[in-house]
Amino acid sequence: MPDSAVIAIELSAVVIAMESATPTVLLTCPDDRCRAPMLPAGDFNPRHHRTFELGLRDRVARQTGLALDYVEQLYTFGDQGRLEPDMPDQEITRHISIGHLGLVSHQQTLLDEHAVWGSWYDHFPWEDYRHGRPAMIDMTIAPALSRWVDAGVDQAHREARRQRVQLAFGLAGARWVDTRVLERFELLYEAGLAPEAQRHDNTEIVTTLPGQPLMSDHRRILATAMDRLRGKLRYRPVIFDLLPEHFTLSQLQLTIEAIIGCRLHKQNFRRALDRTGLVVPTGAVDTTTGGRPAERFRFCREQWRQQMAPGVQTPLAHSEYQ
């Protein structure tokens, strides 16, 4: 390796929008080398962009035609070998990607024919607990991880692996924690259960799991964004950036459930929401539900600014997640 390293800085975006009760992520496949979908990403140009955020907004707009609402920086991804093995660049010694989370209130029309919206559960199907524990956990993931545990070098190593598996996937009486998306994915990667492990580390893939891979390490970036959003909606009212200006309480609850992948206790959720003062009635009703008209609400941004109220509380329907 030469004494002076050449570093390329990439900006990548996890852009989330809701479609009905499904969290969707913006993906693109810009050229023939793209063997799997990828997040919108491109090189940062310090001559043209004063900040990373401005560079990201410009990149996404030019790549997909999408104007972002909410944007925040996620994490810097700089592992060696993070690009596809057949896409080397001899002049660059390290590729660094600065990941961002972007939210839009609805699926905007995309100008680029290569850009699409897809459910984030297409890539992480084991993360959707809204209808109980996904069958694939007990049928496929747990047995495969059990074999990985048994392959540990000694008893202490095997026990450490076993505890990691149980805590990550809520096995053997452990509680399912929705904000462990990245931990679960990295565990599957380490165990050789994610196709990306074979691409990057030449790890033998012993079991093919459901879940569509993404280009490079973009599924890891998506997992990081899912963790961030699931956790952040509890202490900052970011959930309202995914909703239209006026919404029903059922729509709000369904959106939160779709994001965290778990059902909420309806009565406890509404009591907790009332205490925050984050939503106020508009005086209008929604008559499109097919039943009793539902009252419409709006996010009370002025209340949040005055009192810096936390995000929404998420009292779970606990019996479904034991």
Query: What's the pLDDT band for 1 if we cut at 50, 70, 90?
Result: very low
Residue 100 is predicted with a pLDDT of 94
Question: What pLDDT, on the 0 to 100 scale, is given for residue 110?
Answer: 79
Compute the average pLDDT of residues 39-43: 87
Mean pLDDT estimate for the chain: 86
The pLDDT tens digits of the residues spanning 220-255 come to 999 999 999 999 999 899 999 999 999 999 999 999
- Which domains are delineated in the chain? 7-120 (3.90.79.10), 125-211 (no CATH), 237-321 (1.10.10.10)
pLDDT at 179: 96
Helix (H, G, I), strand (E, B) or coil at 112: coil
Structure-model confidence comparison of residues 206 and 71, the more confident one: 71
Residue 96 confidence (pLDDT): 85
Exposed / middle / buried, residue 217 (Cβ in 10 Å: 0-12, 13-18, 19+): buried
User: Which of 153-157, 158-162, 271-275 shows the lowest per-residue confidence on average (mean pLDDT)?
Assistant: 271-275
Confidence of residue 210 (pLDDT cuts 50, 70, 90): confident
**Would the pLDDT of 303 be above 60?**
yes
Tell me the mean pLDDT in the region 56-78.
86
Residue 291 clears pLDDT 80, i.e. is over it: no
Query: Which residue carries 């496949």 as its tokens?
Result: 29
DSSP assigned state of 153: S
pLDDT of residue 320: 53
pLDDT, residue 95, reads 79
- Of 74, 80, 128, the C-alpha closest to 101 is 74
Per-residue pLDDT of 8-22, as tens digits, reads: 888 999 999 999 889
Q: Please state the pTM of the whole predicted model.
A: 0.89
Beta bridge partners of 35: none
At residue 142, does pLDDT exceed 70? yes
pLDDT-based confidence at residue 207 (cuts at 50, 70, 90): low
Residue 61 CB-density burial (10 A; 0-12 exposed, 13-18 middle, 19+ buried): middle
Pairing between β-strand 41-43 and β-strand 246-248 as defined by DSSP bridges: unpaired
**134 pLDDT more than 70:** yes
C-alpha to C-alpha distance for 309 and 134, rounded to whole angstroms: 34
- Cβ atoms < 10 Å from Cβ of 208: 11
> What pLDDT sits at residue 66?
83
Strand order in the sheet with 246-248: 246-248, 294-299, 279-286
Out of 62-71, 164-173, 252-261, 270-279, pick the least confident: 62-71
Q: Around Cβ 5, how many Cβ atoms within 10 Å? A: 9
What is the rounded average pLDDT of the residues 279-296? 85
Task: Tell me the pLDDT band of 257, cut-offs 50, 70 and 90.
Answer: very high
Percent of the chain beyond pLDDT 90?
53
Distance CA 50, CA 304 (A): 30
Q: Over 70: is that where the pLDDT of 62 sits?
A: yes
